[in-house]
Amino acid sequence: MTAPREGHRERLRKRYLQGGIRGFSDRDALEMLLTYAIPRRDTRTLAHSLLKKFGSLQGVLSQPPGMLMTVSGIGPAAAVLLNLSTSIAARALKPEAGARVIDSPERVREYLRASMGTLRKEKLIALLLDSSNRLISECVLEYGTVDRASVHPRNLLEKVIATGATAVILVHNHPGGARRASREDIELTRRLSELGKSLGFRVLDHLIVADGDTVSLREEGHFS
pLDDT tens digits in sequence order for the chain, 224 residues long = 334 466 788 888 888 888 888 889 999 999 999 999 998 888 999 999 999 998 888 788 878 899 999 999 999 999 999 988 888 877 776 666 555 445 566 777 887 887 777 777 888 889 999 888 888 888 888 876 655 556 678 888 888 998 899 999 999 888 876 778 888 888 889 889 998 999 999 999 999 888 778 888 988 888 86
Distance, in Å, from the CA atom of 118 to the CA atom of 112, rounded to the nearest integer, reads 10
Domain spans of the chain, in order of start = 4-91, 96-216
The CATH label, of 1.10.10, 1.20.1740, 3.30.720, 1.10.150, for the domain at 4-91 is: 1.10.150
Specify the fold of 96-216: Cytidine Deaminase; domain 2 (3.40.140)
Q: What distance in Å separates the CA atoms of residue 190 and residue 168, rounded to the nearest whole number?
A: 13
Q: How far apart are CA 114 and CA 118, in angstroms?
A: 7
The pLDDT assigned to 165 comes to: 92
- State the pTM of this model: 0.59
